Amino acid sequence: MLERVLTIKNLDTKKILRTKIDALAKRNTVRFFTTLFLVLLLTIIGTFFITIFAKDKVILNETLLAWERELGRQHRADEILKKGGKTHTNKIKELNEIARITLNNHESRLSEHDQRLNESGARLSEHDRQINDTTENFKKLINNVQDFSVVETDKIQKALDEACKEFKARKSIVEQFQQISAEHKGSVVLVYASTDIVNSKGFVVDNIDSYGSGFILKDGWVVTCKHVIQPWKFYDSTRIAMKISGYHAKLKKIAIWTDGSRALKEKKKPDLSVGYNTELGNLKLVLTSPDEWEHKTTSFPFAKYDVHVIETNSDIAILKISGKIDNYLKLSSDPHPQKLDPIMVMGFPVGTFCLETQIAELSPALGTIRKIETTIAVTAPIIGGNSGGPLINLDGEVIGIAVRTIGPSGNMGLCLKASHIWNYLKQAKTAYK
Q: What is the DSSP string of 199-212?
A: -TTS-EEEEEEEEE
Average pLDDT, the chain: 83
Does 167 map to a domain? no
User: Residue 202 half-sphere exposure, CB side, CA atoms within 13 Å?
Assistant: 0
pLDDT for position 169 = 58
pLDDT for position 2 = 47
User: At a CB cut-off of 8 Å and minimum separation 6, what does 354 contact?
Assistant: 348, 361, 363, 385
pLDDT for position 5 = 45
Does 373 map to a domain? yes
Structural domain count of the chain? 1
Does 319 map to a domain? yes
pLDDT for position 156 = 76
pLDDT for position 178 = 93
Does 204 map to a domain? yes
Return phi, psi of residue 395, to 5°.
-85, 0
Does 157 map to a domain? no
Task: Give residue 365's domain range.
Answer: 181-432
Does 286 map to a domain? yes
- Identify the CATH number of the domain in which residue 245 sits: 2.40.10.120
Does 105 map to a domain? no
Does 44 map to a domain? no
Q: Which residues of the chain have pLDDT under 70?
A: 1-12, 14, 48-49, 51-60, 77, 80-88, 106, 110, 113, 117, 120-121, 124, 127-128, 131, 134-135, 137-139, 141-153, 163-171, 408-410
